[in-house]
A and B are shown apart, each in its own frame.
Chain A
């Protein structure tokens, strides 16, 4: 299958510092990939290289067979910068009209602005917009011109939870029309978890690139069970399960994903001393921390 974005052994030096080290990453049409890493891990640099805004020091990047920064690549690529900004004296409609004209062809500006929830504010100056509204305008310009590749840098920053739901919908819509979507983020939240694949950068090196279930399995992080005991029974339950009492009435224990059902059956067998049970799979943050902090290649270089 033809990949839309192909990154092969991409490296970047800033002075003598190696910012990116032999990065390989592919995104297929309609695929959603999250690119995670702490600040300074090289996500933004990689995005700039894909956009042709900064040259590669080594390796190769192609966007639908075109070189980064070429006319064809720029036409095919949409970009949402981190904390996106626009000229404050233009209105949302004027700004989007300018972008549409630069792409060429027809665009339903009003429809797009309605789509991202700026229908009411489209004729107000951007200087009056909140951060969330500017982010929405940024999303609207991503939807212009049906891109083959969409690069979203921290798309959730400044968005309230409701807007995040809209963001998922827009990302899904992009993927459904065959756009390859790459989302850079410094944390693994719901948005990134909804992607098809997750790549993690750490100090300019790719340390993981897989689906979320696979990453969870490899990391082997435990599931947390919290048992609420009937009055005075917490101590007994803690003894029987080998968990720890965390307050007067609750017991907490951890188990591997594979032992989860076995553990649940054991607890269920305890009868009505157990009032309630709460199960928390490994948190995304834990998983992310595992990969982002994992010792990798250090001491060898």
Chain B
């Protein structure tokens, strides 16, 4: 089984390298991370934290948008594209099971996303550290950011597989993926914000809101990174909601999502007739 998963992963990695996806994703990450690091360099003196801390804080906000986007761009075509090209039926007649196929593709996609994130955010981190200093705490925060951003990407990879298995065509899958991104990354927060404003400090805001928020993997990612580092929390000014939750809430949410999503993708894929 491992050999078959590995075989799928190797072929998938080859494709990602061949079609320049890996290079493009890494380039986008580097570009945005560097731009944010320089744009966000102003307040470091005033708050008394090193430049890397400021950089990690801005990159957290960046990663919330970018990691899901890149992940969905990679995953929406995974099953729908194979079906559209007519390669899926043949692949499914080979001894690899559907779970093994998904796992192999996921391994390759997570690796690619991990490479893009590490190089992208890492480069910006090194630049920030060189120009404005870094400490043990800020380096740890950067490492945490890179790992959690990859996990966040994995969540949207598996959710992308779900859409890809359900959609009738690659175009439909792309549309669904765009909708999913919009809902999880933008609309969800807007909706919560609206609810909090309406509630005006009531029970919802104090008890329900933090849990609903952390149930969203994108927010769980943000809360985890902010809550884990005092410096980052201070710079981002978003510590409030995070402090109302137990420390384990965000990590559990973010780590549970990929497992949950993979299960959903497996079920959706099993129902598919090529």
A interface list, Cβ under 8 A from B: 48, 51-54, 71, 74-75, 77-79, 81, 83-90, 94-95, 98-99, 101-104, 125, 141
Contact = CB atoms under 8 A, between A and B. Distances in A.
A48 B272 CA distance: 13
Interface of B: 3-4, 6-8, 10-11, 14-15, 18-19, 85-87, 89-90, 92-97, 273-274
Nearest to A104: B3
Contacts, number: 73
B3 A79 contact: no
Q: Which of B8, B87, B273 has the most CB of A within 10 A?
A: B87
Contact of A94 (B4, B14, B94): B14
Nearest to A125: B18
A95 B15 CA distance: 11
B274 A53 contact: yes
Contact of A51 (B3, B15, B93, B97): B93
B50 to A, nearest CB: 44
A84 B87 CA distance: 8
A53 B95 contact: no
A53 B273 contact: yes
10 contacts: A48-B89, A53-B273, A74-B94, A79-B90, A81-B86, A87-B11, A87-B87, A90-B14, A98-B8, A101-B4
B83 to A, nearest CB: 11
A102 B15 contact: no
B178 to A, nearest CB: 24
Given A54-B273, A90-B15, A101-B6, 10 more contacts: A51-B93, A52-B93, A53-B93, A77-B93, A87-B15, A87-B85, A88-B85, A90-B18, A101-B3, A102-B95
Contacts of B11: 87, 90, 94-95, 98
A72 B21 CA distance: 36
B7 A102 contact: yes
Contacts of B94: 74, 99, 102-103
A46 B199 CA distance: 60
Interface SS of chain A: mixed
Contact of B19 (A71, A75, A89, A141): A89
B79 to A, nearest CB: 13
The 6 A-B pairs of least Cβ separation, nearest first, read A101-B7, A85-B86, A102-B94, A89-B18, A79-B93, A98-B11
A84 B90 contact: yes
Nearest to A103: B95
Given A85-B85, A85-B86, A101-B4, A74 B93 contact: yes
Contacts of A141: 90
A79 B87 CA distance: 12
A103 B4 CA distance: 8
A99 B92 CA distance: 11
A43 to B, nearest CB: 14
A71 B93 CA distance: 10
A300 to B, nearest CB: 31
B18 A104 contact: no
Q: Which of B3, B8, B90, B96 has the most CB of A within 10 A?
A: B90
Nearest to B7: A101
A151 B245 CA distance: 59
Contacts of A54: 273
B22 to A, nearest CB: 12
B86 A53 contact: no
